[in-house]
Amino acid sequence: MDWLTLANEVVNGKELNEEEALSILNSDDDELLSLLQGAFTIRKHYYGKKVKLNMIINTKSGLCPENCGYCSQSSISTAPIEKYRMMDRESILAGAERAYNLKVGTYCIVASGRGPSEKELDTVVSAVKDIKEHYGLKVCACLGLLKPNQASRLKEAGVDRYNHNINTSKEHHESITTSHTYDNRVETIEAVKASGISPCSGVIIGMRETKKDVVNMAYSLKVLDADSIPVNFLHAIDGTPLEGTDDLDPRYCLKVLALFRFINPTKEIRISGGREVNLRSLQPLGLYAANSIFVGDYLTTKGQESTSDHEMLKDLGFEVEFDFEENEALTV
């Protein structure tokens, strides 16, 4: 396959068919650099050499009634994680200050659970209003399944983006969780879109899915029109049903990132959880396909030091794109 020619066709409006999409995941490792050159051609056309930085605050840990097989916070997990109820507004604001000082554009307020209680929602709404007033950060919320009226309240408070991942393909969903359906997740994304909040939805790669499942995920997110697509790579945690799963290698992870760029050329593709343990020394190459990363720690696992991420971007010659209200971009 001539990946550069295919990339230029995508820039000019071509949509990949399933055979072409699968050929990306099945490509020989010797083609990896030319595949990434194609992905970078698309990425550069829409995003130049800018990189968006995102940071998570885990405002509520554990205590979740769901049975998601990948998650250390689920009801069926025996992983020894810290468990606590919803943080207060002051603690969420303190995290926002740290994000602001690290030049992180998007601050992600995350809470475990099936969905937010009214009290929890009140806390988030209050915190978001103060964050907007004092720091001007772009705010993403991730609070589980959402009702339309709850989405409207978050929109009114100033939430810019709401994350609710599809996680896997519809066909593979019941192999990962049975306490909610794939359609439940889609309904939340649609409620978010209807409220006027930018939808963020992504996947977890490496949960014993097939390559066709991965392709279906990329197409599903295209149909859902998710503005931001986090691509997580499974960091299997002891005490979860997926404990010991190790199906990924760095080269395949790069092919997955390229696939998502080719199928969703105009969207923010974010390298998310598990990048450190799965991409390893090839992490910088991922940014030739993706244009966004998380910095700092994740929910219950550690991330790379933010200074190392900034050094990586500097070495690549990329720019940090700030999502503050003044929408500035500075070279790191």
Of residues 153, 161, 270, 275, which has the active-site annotation? Answer: 270
What count of residues does the chain have?
Answer: 332
Q: Of these residues, 43, 71, 161, 275, which one is catalytic?
A: 71
Catalytic option among 200, 253, 261, 275:
200
Half-sphere exposure of 57 (CA within 13 A, CB side): 27
d(CA 167, CA 262): 19
| Tokens 């940090």, residue located | 320
140 is catalytic: yes
Concerning whether 142 is annotated as a catalytic residue, the answer is no
Strands (E), the chain: 50-60, 106-111, 138-142, 161-163, 198-200, 203-205, 228-233, 268-271, 292-294, 319-321, 329-331
Q: Say whether 253 is catalytic.
A: no
> Across the strands, what pairs with 106?
54, 138
Please identify which of the residues 68, 89, 261, 275 carries the catalytic annotation. Answer: 68
CA dihedral defined by 263, 269, 274, 280, rounded to 10 degrees? 90
Token pair 């993403």 is found at: 140
Residue 64 annotated to the active site? yes
Q: Which residue in 89, 140, 142, 253 is the catalytic one?
A: 140
In degrees and rounded to multiples of 5, residue 231 shows phi and psi of -105, 105
**Residue 125 per-residue DSSP state:** H
User: What is the three-class DSSP state of 282?
Assistant: helix
Beta-bridge partners for 229: 269
Annotated active-site residue 200? The verdict is yes
- The one catalytic residue among 43, 64, 153, 161: 64
Helix (H, G, I), strand (E, B) or coil at 257: helix
**Which one of the listed residues 43, 89, 108, 253 is annotated catalytic?**
108
Residue numbers annotated as active site: 64, 68, 71, 108, 140, 200, 270
